[in-house]
Structure 1
Amino acid sequence: MRLRDVLLAMLRTSDRLAPEDVRRGIRLVTADGVCSMAMSSLQGGPFLTAFALGIGASNYDLGLLAAIGFLSQAVQLPALMIVRAFPYRRAITVASALTSRLAWIFIILTPVLFVDRGVLWLVQWLFLSAVLTSAAAPAWNSLLRDLVPTDQLGRVFARRTLLGNLVALPLTLAGGVFVDWWREQAAGTSLYAYALLFTLGLAFGLAGAVAIARLPEPRMATAGEGGLLALLARPLRDGNYRRFLAFVGAWNFAVNLATPFFAAYMLRRLGLSVFAVTVLTVVAQVANLWFLRIWGQLADRYSNKAVIAACAPLYLLAFAAWTFTGIPDPHVLTIPLLVVIHVVSGMATAGIGLPIGNIGLKLAPAGAAHAYITLAGLAGAASGTLAPLLGGVLADFFAAREFALVLSWSDPAHAFQVSALRLQALDFVFLIAVAVGVWALSRLARVHEEGRITERTVMEEAIDQVVLPFRTMSTVEGIRRLTFFPLSALERLRSRPRPP
């Protein structure tokens, strides 16, 4: 097929998609998700962190790298107008995907040609790639809104993520094995190993762009005339959507205050190898896979909000548990505790990310989804940009400070001291993230979504499906109730009449 024919095919739209076109579109969306997650597993996470540390990155530099993806989302504002002036969403998305992924070529060549340019070289190309990716977000979100039936959102994206993880999981583990093997064979040249992983990730990314190019595209509904401010004003006039934006911003701040530093914490503070870090990453992915289908079904059956409220407290407890992995130094329980943290985190994130996106899509009216979702992305981007930068500053500030609680016992013959709690550097950052996350849940309690089911109902059904055989192992009912606290409790407090 000639290039001209390919370009013309990218501009074809349909007034109405046949059922077989919808099914084909869902398969291609799933294929792109698999390729994108494979790409991310090889070009992000512990590999990108270790690569940055290998060229001299500091805590602040790591925070800056984490902030890039969010900072770049400001480009969605002018991209909104591009979608309105050029309503060919598939073409916009493909052009963005190809250029953003090809920008990684310059990062791949860093060990060969540009290693002396330091972290700034890595930052500028990651930023360019992120900007090009974000430029397609309004078009991509709007296309998904029109392509995937609303009542299938949970199942479709749960399956998309499930299959993506099934590919990303062995790639992550194999990547860790490969890096450690390379280090043994050629010490001091590990940057080349990361470059090879990035190259494989690029191949997956290009395959994903091909899948997007083959998507059927329904004709985009018009959302009325008006400029950029008028376009963004519509979701801002929606009181319920404003409350959703407040939650998204607060939650993104809490998550990105802590998560960008987990890999560095394990590599530096706990002294783990890259392979050990990737094994723990795989543990989290396995837990994520196990619960994805369950949370997706429960979100469709009850409500996304209830699923988030059931999972978010578990995620925050995992944040707090990081502070105990190195008290006072790495100890015999460090690895078991890390395994528990990653299992809980993987299980919880399976029920947070997809439902948040689903709420945004459900609350967005047809024809205006690109404006609504873009504004939600910008709300998360603003806090997501600030959070890792602040986290890096706080980590460096607290690096020279320490808070400790010591338990001591003495008798005429002996004296003992045990370090009960010791907080330093990133430990403070993790606890601050927990506090912000609790406040974010109070914002979620104010969002209205169809389906009045509490997180207790969702959690109990999840327990029925997964751990029913172990329900009788504890006789302490209050232990189970701990996971049901935040949202329903906050809503009961809000509904309680105030004294005159």
Structure 2
Amino acid sequence: MPQSKSNPGEKEVKRSLDSSIADGASFSVMAGLGDTYVPPFAVALGATTAQVGLLTALPYAISGISQAIISHIPGITERRKEFVLLFAFIHGIAWIFIALLAIFLLPTEMAIIALIILFSVYSALNAVAIPPWSGWMADLVPEHQRGSYFGKRNAVAGFALLAATIAGGWLLGLLEAVLALQAFAVLFLFAFLWRMVSVFFLWRMADVSAETKIIPIHPWDFLSSPAWHCSRTFAIYVALMQFATNLAGPFFVVYMLRDLHMDYFTFAVLVGITSLVRIVSMPYWGRLADIVGSRNVLRVSGLLVPIAPVLWVFSAEPLYLVFAQVFSGFAWAGFDLSTFNYALSSASKEHRVSFISYYSLMNNLMIFAGALLGGLVAEYFASASLLWMHGLLLLFLLSGAIRLAVSFVFLPLIEERKLTRSVDEYFEGAQTFRNECSEIAHSRSTDARATGQFHEGSGRSNMLKRVLPLGSADEQNLSRDDHATSCGSRSLRHVCKRSG
């Protein structure tokens, strides 16, 4: 029987958390069979580099706008489970329509346009469920267990993604000789079935009553108020990193399949290696975040991530690329976990859905801009060369350089989260300062995304950030009813002192 909406007991919470792990695994199988192979499907259809960039970019723009709208719809907090279940089900149905493109082959240009539109709708359907899902999970998972729980959840999801990705590549290579492009339809229909399994496990989870109502964050407050200084700095950093990453991210699949002429199984193995490394390293990063805090993990991983795309410019040998993928998986596991941890602690419960929606909007718009610009730059670099590098290799180098510059500028500015004052007290002070002297952000991805976004050819779509912790372990002094951070408190005291 489905759980009634209430404050669940310990057994209900445990069953819900186990079901969430199964949901994450099922979602990952769907992504491994579906999301991973949408860009290869586009390449097989004859899409240009710029069109592959648009296939990645447009879903993010639509998803970000959708999330921003959803955060202002009344009643989401009170009906989170119903809302998530509805959109998760429709999200799965979208795979049937994508599969039809592979069954009933249209003229090339028409097929590519239809794929971009359908994949954008598919991404938006998942994106709108992320804010209420995040709040739902935050209410289910005890704060002191978030790091270890989401580390375990991500490890299981990563293993499922690895297995599905490699199985998909093997199956695609096996069926391609007989079915040609229609072999992709088989994968996409399997993706639909696994999404339905995911929906089943979501249905088994307890419908936790939200303890607080949603309080929307006004955009101007986030952009100008000292109360949101730390959250604003963090959000800008992550958004710029998403921009730099997606200058190159969508085009690793083009490089592997078109330029290196990899078969689908080799492609799947290289993509899957990143998931394997995530399985091994995610629990480590999670425990480390619980001990030293998300900021310190972010500072380390934020300097590792820029190296990942640069590794691809030195060799195209498969064994070397295995090393590049191992490094990429390790670096991104730490970066994703720490940013999600930090994002969850960036807003109080009543502001969380609004904050997640705005934060997602910022990230999605920057991903859109990065992928779109990356496609144009890739076309420009097609005939350019520098030393031994040419074409997409120059784009990978540029992406790494911009990531490094962004990390050097912003990482020293990001403060640890230590909540010291109530939301009402904090915003009263911020409002007083604004009146006397004449702000949202979001979390996640997560689960999400992406999606066609590839981090150094990892095949991990941003939509999969729903699989990752939109809230994992932040510091144990995090108060669920507070928002003000130590950084924010200092900022507010400084400006009030200056005005006085």
Task: Please report the TM-score for the alignment, with normalisation by the length of structure 1.
Answer: 0.78
Given that 1:63 and 1:391 are in contact with CA atoms closer than 8 Å, whether structure 2 keeps it comes out as yes
CA distance in 2, matches of 1:18, 1:137: 25
Q: How does 1:29-40 map to 2 (within 5 A)?
A: 29-40=20-31
1:178 aligns to 2:161 (yes or no): no
Counterpart in the other structure of 2:153? 160
Given that 1:154 and 1:355 are in contact with CA atoms closer than 8 Å, whether structure 2 keeps it comes out as no
Q: How does 1:73-92 map to 2 (within 5 A)?
A: 73-84=64-75, 87-92=78-83
Which of 201, 211, 218 aligns to 1:211? It is: 201
Larger radius of gyration: 1
- Number of residues of Structure 1 aligned to a counterpart in Structure 2: 414
CA distance in 1, matches of 2:190, 2:21: 20
- SS of residue in 2 equivalent to 1:352: helix
- SS of residue in 1 equivalent to 2:389: strand
Query: How far did residue 202 of structure 1 move?
Result: 1.1
Q: Give the letter for the 2:351 counterpart.
A: A
Residue ranges of structure 1 left out of the alignment (5+ in a row): 327-333, 405-421, 452-500
Query: How far did residue 318 of structure 1 move?
Result: 2.0
Residue ranges of structure 2 left out of the alignment (5+ in a row): 419-500
Q: Give the letter for the 1:275 counterpart.
A: F
1:238 aligns to 2:231 (yes or no): no
1:383 aligns to 2:350 (yes or no): no
Task: Please report the TM-score for the alignment, with normalisation by the length of structure 2.
Answer: 0.78
Given that 2:102 and 2:184 are in contact with CA atoms closer than 8 Å, whether structure 1 keeps it comes out as no
Are the structure 2 counterparts of residues 41 and 386 from structure 1 closer, same or farther at C-alpha, using a change threshold of 3 Å? Answer: same
Query: How far did residue 296 of structure 1 move?
Result: 1.0
CA distance in 2, matches of 1:302, 1:40: 32
1:365 aligns to 2:348 (yes or no): yes
1:396 aligns to 2:396 (yes or no): no
Counterpart in the other structure of 1:413? none
Query: How far did residue 121 of structure 1 move?
Result: 0.8
CA distance in 1, matches of 2:228, 2:16: 31
Which of 58, 75, 82 aligns to 1:68? It is: 58
Given that 1:298 and 1:307 are in contact with CA atoms closer than 8 Å, whether structure 2 keeps it comes out as yes
Alignment deviations for residues 323-381 of structure 1 (CA, whole Å, 9 cap, x no partner): 1225xxxxxxx222211101111111221112211111122212221112222211211
CA distance in 1, matches of 2:340, 2:71: 18
Name which of structure 1's ranges 174-183 and 240-249 shifts more when overlaid on structure 2.
174-183
Given that 1:220 and 1:367 are in contact with CA atoms closer than 8 Å, whether structure 2 keeps it comes out as no
Given that 2:55 and 2:116 are in contact with CA atoms closer than 8 Å, whether structure 1 keeps it comes out as yes
Report the aligned-residue RMSD. 2.2
Are the structure 2 counterparts of residues 168 and 383 from structure 1 closer, same or farther at C-alpha, using a change threshold of 3 Å? Answer: same
Q: How does 1:25-64 map to 2 (within 5 A)?
A: 25-45=16-36, 47-64=37-54
Counterpart in the other structure of 1:444? 411
Counterpart in the other structure of 2:305? 315
Counterpart in the other structure of 2:335? 352
Query: How far did residue 182 of structure 1 move?
Result: 2.1
Which of 264, 280, 287 aligns to 1:290? It is: 280
Q: How does 1:76-475 map to 2 (within 5 A)?
A: 76-84=67-75, 87-116=78-107, 117-184=110-177, 186=178, 189-223=179-213, 237-326=227-316, 334-404=317-387, 422-441=388-407, 442-450=409-417
Query: How far did residue 55 of structure 1 move?
Result: 1.4
Given that 1:250 and 1:439 are in contact with CA atoms closer than 8 Å, whether structure 2 keeps it comes out as no
Are the structure 2 counterparts of residues 82 and 114 from structure 1 closer, same or farther at C-alpha, using a change threshold of 3 Å? Answer: farther
Are the structure 2 counterparts of residues 20 and 352 from structure 1 closer, same or farther at C-alpha, using a change threshold of 3 Å? Answer: same
Alignment deviations for residues 97-141 of structure 1 (CA, whole Å, 9 cap, x no partner): 111110111111112224333201111111111122122222111
Query: How far did residue 218 of structure 1 move?
Result: 2.4
Q: Give the letter for the 2:31 counterpart.
A: S
Among all aligned residue pairs of Structure 1 and Structure 2, give the percentage whose two residues are the same amino acid: 26
CA distance in 2, matches of 1:366, 1:234: 21
Query: How far did residue 86 of structure 1 move?
Result: 6.2
CA distance in 2, matches of 1:53, 1:113: 17
Given that 1:266 and 1:277 are in contact with CA atoms closer than 8 Å, whether structure 2 keeps it comes out as yes
CA distance in 1, matches of 2:119, 2:335: 26
Are the structure 2 counterparts of residues 434 and 94 from structure 1 closer, same or farther at C-alpha, using a change threshold of 3 Å? Answer: same
